[in-house]
Structure 1
Amino acid sequence: MARKKLFVSFDFDNDADLKMLLVGQSKHSDTPFDIWDSSVKEHMDGDWITKVRRKISNVDVVCILCGQSTHAAAGVAEELKIAKELKKPYFLLKGYKDKACTKPTTASASDKMYDWTWENLKALIHGGR
């Protein structure tokens, strides 16, 4: 299967460690994706939104890494909103196995949060949801 370009959305203030773990996984020899871009810590104004829109428009799929405070992360909510507007496939990935993780406020009630396993991740990248 062709490698997919992935945008990783995450709560920069609370879940930067999750993003680094995903970067580590992306280095596996059988990885079906390349991390193309990710959330940044910038003030949300018109310029920020334009930059994020451009970044997301250049990827194949968006991964929303969900942690304990994702519901309060305005940037993650905006990134998911943009992904939906651009009709980019996306999935919610539960960042912590042993903690309660929350969805961004712009997630739909029907958006499932998937456990972070290597097999799930590989399937999700290629539309297995």
Structure 2
Amino acid sequence: MANKKRAFISFDYDNDEKIKMFLAGQAKNPDSPFEFKDNSVRDHLTGDWQQKVRRRMANIDVVVVLCGKHTHTAKGVSAELTIAKELKKPYFLLAGYSGGGCKKPTSASSTDKLYKWTWENLKLLLAGNR
């Protein structure tokens, strides 16, 4: 598929690395509208990790925020979403688990919708339908 969106995936490293791998795997589907470009960094990296995130986000088209059951406590995810907003990067919040209980990062606004993760929804969201 031509013109794939370059996606930065923000997620809670401590609790949701498995679902990030599922999303990265979907990027490999032949009809995938996105490519996995970069992802969250751990906030205990040396140096200014937020500046590293800014550099990583500079060349992406969209930020996918994977929301799990503990995302509201993940300071790094909240900071990454704030950076995406500052850089005016389009983003959306994706519920990482179908059973419910997924939480938004604390930097999400009350109007930020938490979208259900299905293949069709993902393709629509990446196309800008949000």
With the shorter chain as reference, the TM-score category is over 0.9
Structure 2: 5+ residue stretches without partners:
none
Aligned partners of 1:44 and 1:75 also within 8 Å: no
TM-score when scaled to structure 2?
A: 0.95
Query: TM-score, normalising length from structure 1?
Result: 0.96
Partner residue, 1:128: 129
Tell me, in whole angstroms, the C-alpha distance in 1 between the residues paired with 2:61 and 2:118. Answer: 20
Shift of 1:40: 1.9
1:78 is matched with which residue? 79
1:5 correspondence with 2:6: yes
Distance in 2 separating the partners of 1:26 and 1:36: 10
Instruction: Give runs of ≥4 in structure 1 deviating > 2 Å.
Output: none
Determine the C-alpha separation between the residues in 2 that align with 1:42 and 1:103. 18
Aligned residues of 1:71 and 1:102 also touching (Cα < 8 A)? yes
In the alignment, the residues of structure 2 paired with residue 5 and residue 104 of structure 1 have an alpha-carbon distance, to the nearest angstrom, of 22
Structure 1: gaps (5+ residues): none
1:106-125 maps to which residues of 2 (within 5 A)?
Answer: 106-125=107-126
The one-character-per-residue Cα deviations of 1:87-115 (angstroms, maximum 9, x if unpaired) are 00000000000130000000000000000
Count of matched residue pairs: 129
Residue 70 of structure 1, CA deviation: 0.2
One-letter code aligned to 1:50: Q
Pair 111,78 (structure 1): closer, same or farther in 2 beyond 3 Å: same
> Which amino acid counterpart does residue 110 of structure 1 have in structure 2?
T
Give me the identity figure in percent: 58
Look up the equivalent residue of 2:88 and give its one-letter code: K
Contact 1:10–1:19 (8 Å) recurs in 2:
yes
Counterpart Cα distance in 1 of 2:47 and 2:127? 32
Alignment check: 8 A CA contact 2:8 2:64 kept: yes
Q: CA RMSD in A?
A: 1.3
Q: Distance in 2 between matches of 1:104 and 1:42?
A: 15
What code does the residue aligned with 1:96 have?
Answer: Y
Answer whether contact 1:9 1:62 (CA < 8 A) is retained. Answer: yes
How far 1:44 sits from its partner (Å)?
Answer: 6.3
In 2, distance between residues paired with 1:54 and 1:72? 24
